[in-house]
Amino acid sequence: MRVFLLLPILALLAAGAATTPPTGTRFEGKFTNGMKGNTLSFVLAPDGKTIRDVTFKGYWRCDGKLEMLGATGPQGTFAVTNGTVAGRICEPPNGGASAWCFDLGGKLTGKTAAGRFRMNINALRCDSYELQWEASAVGPAK
């Protein structure tokens, strides 16, 4: 009798453990200034409170020369408050002039977003300069 009572409880626990948490919404976009073909993507958390996996693909200038970056972005997350993101992540955090710094600002409205982006490494004189972006939700994060 105890086995029959325990089986439904175990089944419920197993079903709960097998459920994967929501992954968030992936946004992909382009820049309205800067080099043609530069792109930006990121993932908005399901609760709408953070942005992660920010990825820049395109050109920036290092020591006065134009260089192509395949896909780069910060490991950290940006906070979102009332649909607005405004933050700076430097990696490593205390890296000084040799740190990669990423600035992201913008407004998320439903399935669209727009804002500004900049990344730089001061010691290497590398800079994307401030770029304006527009992005749209393309589906769940992978």
- Spatial separation of the C-alpha atoms in residues 85 and 87, rounded to whole Å: 7
Q: In terms of DSSP bridges, do strands 126-127 and 131-140 run parallel, antiparallel, or are they unpaired?
A: unpaired
Q: In terms of DSSP bridges, do strands 25-31 and 50-62 run parallel, antiparallel, or are they unpaired?
A: unpaired
Using alpha carbons, select from 131, 140, 87 the residue that is nearest to residue 111. Answer: 140
Quick check: 127 pLDDT over 90? yes
- Is the pTM value of this prediction over 0.85? no
Mean pLDDT within 89-101: 89
Quick check: 18 pLDDT over 80? no
Query: Please, are residues 102 and 54 in contact by the beta-carbon 8 Å criterion?
Result: yes
pLDDT at position 140: 87
pLDDT at position 39: 96
